[in-house]
Amino acid sequence: MANDPQSETVNRIFIQILGREATRQEKSQYRLLDQYMLQDTARTILHSERHNNEKFRTLDDAEKTVKHFGVSLVSPFNKQCGISTYTENLYKHISIPKSVVSESCASRGDCVEEKNVNRVWSIGAGDMDLKIIDQARKDGNRIVHIQHEFGIFNDNDMLFSLISNLKKCGFKVVITMHTIMRTLSFDAYYRIADVIIVHSEEAASRLYGKGINNLTVVNHGTEEPIDVDFKESIEFVKSMINYELGDVLGCSVGFISKDKMQEEVLEAADKASQVNKKLKFLLVGDTGRRSYDDEYMPILERHKGENISVVKKFLSAKEIAMLLDVCDFAVMNYHPTNYSISGASHLLMTYGVPSISSDAKILSDLTPGMSLKVKCEDIDGIYNAMINMAEDQSMRTSMGNNAFAAGNSTRWDKIAKTHEGIYRSICDAN
């Protein structure tokens, strides 16, 4: 084969593009390709070799780095999403050395401070895992805590590779699974973490039942209430709905999405407001990142009227405080979901707001003592609950007090301390 002109052509092009001779296997494998296909093949091999060399260097450098006790949180930051808000609250209250390995972009107006927040990775990028590992090396924290979201880690092989390589490099890996799928096939990708955090006993039971024992249940945190002026709150609400003191105001907070079955809520509100003329209902929120949520808005807007308002607006933390300062009750109406917990439900606890909520797992923190439970598709059931809320002020007061007490027991300072205990336990283990 040494004198074969076609093999020599392979060798010549490899020297030109790769700077090395072709191996015997490469000469044999590519000898029948024409010149242009050979050039493309050589360039592809060059890209692969460079990537592999970069990966080797990144992992080698990360393994050699001296690591101290501290945590790097892997998550979006200052974005319009629940995972971002969760991370911001956790990061604010952690007292040990800390940093954030964040997505490269932000999208929220009322941003929180970004000290030690490093924007290095992009969703869907092929080098996302290496970017995270390299930044963890630069931060030098022993613990890497991944805030998981299926919309971010949609390539689950990358998640497995990320956790595996972090551990090989000497990091301790914690992963918070904000959602546990009922589908078992996803379990293989995150079960190798040192600790898996879930937010409910139901989620834990699902994993325990499949032999996953390296996990702990940590409640979703509840924010401290923001002090707002009641007159300013009234004016803010009046800018969105025809409201007067003495009215009974129901509202829905958080993202507008088909997942929350808000059309059924508005149908019930329309029916209830015809019976109780003092009852007003405000649905306000931005649509999610999914295009079909935008398509949902025109359907909801058909229910607008004198007593019902639908407003597409992403609320800042202060605006949420002003809305919940005025409203008498809230409605949360998720359809049956996987094992998860809603951050919006904890906002109701922050401000002591009674609620009507479906029996979906994601709303399990809204217990019957603070919320009237309904079936998500039962418009008559939601209607009856709204009438009860509107007409029974003592019930609203009792449920609101229970919601506020539940919020006090899960304030972020307490939840952060629980996290710190987990971090210390895995670092003391070796």
Tell me the per-residue pLDDT of 24-60, one tens digit each, with 9 for 90 and over: 888 888 888 888 888 888 888 877 766 777 788 888 8
Residue 32: exposed, middle, or buried by beta-carbon count in 10 A (0-12, 13-18, 19+)? Answer: exposed
pLDDT in tens, the chain (430 residues): 456 888 889 888 888 887 778 888 888 888 888 888 888 888 888 777 667 777 888 888 999 999 999 999 999 999 988 999 999 999 999 999 999 999 988 777 778 888 999 999 998 888 899 999 999 999 999 999 999 999 899 889 999 999 999 999 999 999 999 999 988 889 999 999 999 999 999 999 999 999 999 999 999 999 999 999 999 999 999 999 999 999 999 999 888 888 899 999 999 999 999 999 999 999 999 886 667 777 888 899 999 999 999 999 989 999 999 999 999 999 999 998 899 999 999 999 999 999 999 999 999 999 999 999 999 999 999 999 999 999 999 999 999 999 999 999 999 999 999 999 999 999 974 4
Same fold, 67-221+412-428 and 230-409: yes
CATH code, residues 230-409: 3.40.50.2000
CATH of domain 67-221+412-428: 3.40.50.2000
CB atoms within 10 A of CB 344: 21
Domain ranges of the chain: 5-63, 67-221+412-428, 230-409
